[in-house]
């Protein structure tokens, strides 16, 4: 048995960077996909509404773990051998996109109908209505639930450990396997997750207060 | 504010000729589901006139106004406003919007934008004016509604009456030929109502063509050239304001002005 030491701590902290990287990929990839999905969900074209709704229903009904298995093991059977980081990034993007799409759809629809009418009556076209009137207001409504959801995503990146991607959780497992100090190791891991998520939670509360006052 | 001044600032252009009305409504029928809200409505609004549409809640007057601006489609009939056919789909929207302004009961300012940007948004985006030009126009129309000092404020920092005046200024800045007012004082306290009505009276004096749905009987009686009394989705009675109020022809209208509602 190897003694738990500073090298292990450094190893875990280095792996925590990958948790952050994976979270950022998930967020930015998911945000782009989510915005497209949200706009498709409120589109005037039935086909876009139907396709986006079907996508969101499907992904929301699928465990993230299965998405990870499919993109890592499933795609490799089809000849696409993705690196763990790519497979994890892809799965999380697809997953986060579906949820953000649905959250943001609700936020766009929460902007009063009268704002559409007023901006229509001064001659703005649909793109201008979105860009200058509707989306800026939807962003205010969307910020608290989006940040809240990101806290979930940070923790969900731990699932990437099952396809061998060495992020925070996987690093904890590896260290534990050699040191047999699960209590110390996983408390450290939990503390690091907390250190990443807590500022987000605080930010969410602050933003919620701020935007409530502004309305 | 003098007549000339108002006219110059509002950029009022003739909304029609003496022969062709600025707004022509013919036999308009509209349903909400099974409910017939407009039942063969016809009316004319001549250029430079103020026409007040009055009537009880549910008589179809707001719906009629919304149909005039293409916010609601009509089932049958014809609406021509400043030469644009409206009420059937969204064709020619851009042309219609250039000529017709609208002010709402709930102001509908953009809460995330300053007063200035509320006014200049369409000027820069739709009318392609430079920022400086747009700002200058915003200053002009704000002065016209007596709010020159509020240009940097956000809507939430203003009273209801001030917000409504900004909404009128936003509409004026686009130099419409006709402005539709949909119960614009219904959400305001009496003292705030006065300041909004004063602005509207200035506009009327300046020759703006205006159609308003209102519950302000005294105002309609004093300022409107024509009054249209709606009842059960029909134009029940209409005509020049003085004549109409002096000698109501129908029991419903007599009762309506009698109760003062």
pLDDT (0 to 100) of residue B17: 57
Query: A125 to chain B nearest CA, in Å?
Result: 8
Q: What is the ipTM of this complex?
A: 0.87
Residue B17 lies inside a defined structural domain of this protein: no
Return the percentage of chain A with pLDDT > 70, whole number: 98
Q: Chain A partners of B100 at a C-beta cutoff of 8 Å? A: 121
What is the C-alpha separation between A148 and A155, in angstroms, rounded?
12
pLDDT (0 to 100) of residue B115: 96
Contact status of A135 with chain B (Cβ, < 8 Å) = no
pLDDT band at residue A210, thresholds of 50, 70 and 90?
A: confident
Q: Which long-range contacts (CB under 8 A, 24 or more apart) does A73-80 make?
A: A73/A163
- Every domain of chain A and the residues it spans: 6-214
Residue B224 lies inside a defined structural domain of this protein: yes
Comparing CB atoms, the residue among A123, A136, A137 nearest residue B126 is A123
pLDDT (0 to 100) of residue A203: 87
Which CATH number is B246's domain given?
Answer: 3.40.50.300
Question: Which tokens belong to B4?
Answer: 């000339």
Q: Chain A partners of B69 at a C-beta cutoff of 8 Å? A: 121
Residue B40 lies inside a defined structural domain of this protein: yes
Please state the domain count of chain B: 1
Among candidates A48, A138, A135, A58, which has minimal Cα distance to A99?
A: A58
**Each residue's pLDDT tens digit in chain B (261 positions)?**
344 444 444 444 455 555 678 999 999 999 999 999 999 999 999 999 999 999 998 899 999 999 999 999 999 999 999 988 988 876 667 889 989 999 999 999 999 999 999 999 999 999 999 999 999 999 999 999 999 999 999 999 999 999 999 999 999 999 999 999 999 999 898 889 999 999 999 999 999 999 999 998 989 999 999 999 999 999 999 999 999 988 888 989 988 888 544
Q: Say if residues B45 and B22 touch (Cβ distance below 8 Å).
A: yes
**Full 3-state SS string of B9-64:** HHCCCCCCCCCCCCEEEEEEEEEECCEEEEEEEEEEECCCCEEEEEECCCCCHHHH
pLDDT (0 to 100) of residue B122: 95
Closest chain A residue to B113 measured between Cα atoms? A133
For the domain made up of A6-214, give the CATH fold.
Answer: MetI-like fold (1.10.3720)
Within 151-190 of A, beta carbons closer than 8 Å to B belong to none
Comparing CB atoms, the residue among B97, B106, B156 nearest residue A121 is B97
Among candidates B132, B227, B123, which has minimal Cα distance to B173?
A: B123
> B122 vs A114: CB contact, 8 Å cut-off?
no
């Amino acid at each position: 048995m190897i003694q738990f030491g500073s090298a292990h701590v450094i190893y875990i902290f280095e792996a925590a960077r990958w948790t952050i990287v994976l979270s950022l990929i998930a967020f930015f990839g998911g945000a782009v996909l989510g915005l497209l999905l949200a706009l498709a969900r409120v589109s005037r074209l039935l086909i876009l509404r139907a396709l986006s709704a079907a996508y969101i229903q499907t992904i929301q009904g699928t465990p993230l773990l299965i998405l990870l298995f499919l993109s890592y093991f499933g795609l490799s059977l089809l000849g696409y051998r993705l690196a763990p980081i790519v497979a994890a990034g892809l799965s999380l993007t697809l997953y986060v996109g579906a949820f953000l799409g649905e959250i943001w759809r609700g936020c766009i629809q929460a902007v009063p109908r009268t704002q559409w009418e007023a901006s229509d009556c001064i001659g703005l076209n649909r793109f201008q209505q979105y860009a200058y009137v509707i989306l800026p207001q939807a962003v205010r409504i969307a910020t608290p639930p989006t940040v809240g959801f990101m806290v979930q995503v940070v923790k969900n990146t731990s699932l990437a450990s099952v396809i061998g991607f060495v992020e925070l959780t996987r690093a904890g497992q590896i260290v534990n396997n050699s040191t047999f100090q699960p209590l110390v190791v996983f408390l450290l891991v939990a503390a690091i997750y907390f250190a990443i998520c807590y500022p987000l939670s605080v930010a969410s509360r602050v933003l919620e207060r701020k935007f409530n006052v502004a309305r | 504010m003098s007549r000339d001044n108002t006219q110059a600032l509002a950029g009022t252009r003739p909304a029609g000729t003496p022969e062709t009305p600025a707004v022509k409504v013919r036999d308009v029928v509209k349903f909400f589901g099974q409910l017939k809200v407009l039942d063969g409505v016809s009316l004319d609004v001549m250029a430079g006139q103020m026409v007040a549409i009055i009537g009880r809640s549910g008589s179809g007057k707001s719906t009629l106004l919304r149909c005039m601006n293409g916010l609601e489609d009509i089932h049958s009939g014809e609406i021509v406003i400043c030469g644009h056919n409206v009420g059937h789909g969204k064709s020619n929207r851009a042309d219609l919007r250039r000529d017709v302004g609208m002010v709402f009961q709930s102001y509908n300012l953009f809460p995330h934008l300053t007063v200035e940007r509320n006014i200049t948004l369409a000027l820069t985006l739709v009318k392609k004016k430079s920022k400086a030009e747009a700002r200058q126009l915003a200053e002009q129309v704000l002065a016209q509604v007596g709010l020159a000092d509020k240009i940097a404020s956000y809507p939430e920092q203003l009273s209801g009456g001030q917000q409504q005046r900004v909404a009128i200024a936003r509409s004026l800045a686009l130099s419409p030929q006709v402005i539709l007012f949909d119960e614009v004082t219904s959400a305001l306290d009496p003292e705030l109502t006065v300041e909004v009505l004063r602005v509207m009276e200035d506009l009327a004096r300046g020759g703006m063509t205006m159609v308003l749905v209102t519950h302000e009987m005294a105002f309609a009686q004093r300022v409107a050239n024509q009054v249209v009394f709606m009842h059960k989705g029909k134009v029940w009675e209409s005509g020049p304001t003085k004549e109409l109020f002096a000698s109501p022809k129908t029991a419903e209208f007599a009762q309506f002005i009698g109760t003062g509602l």
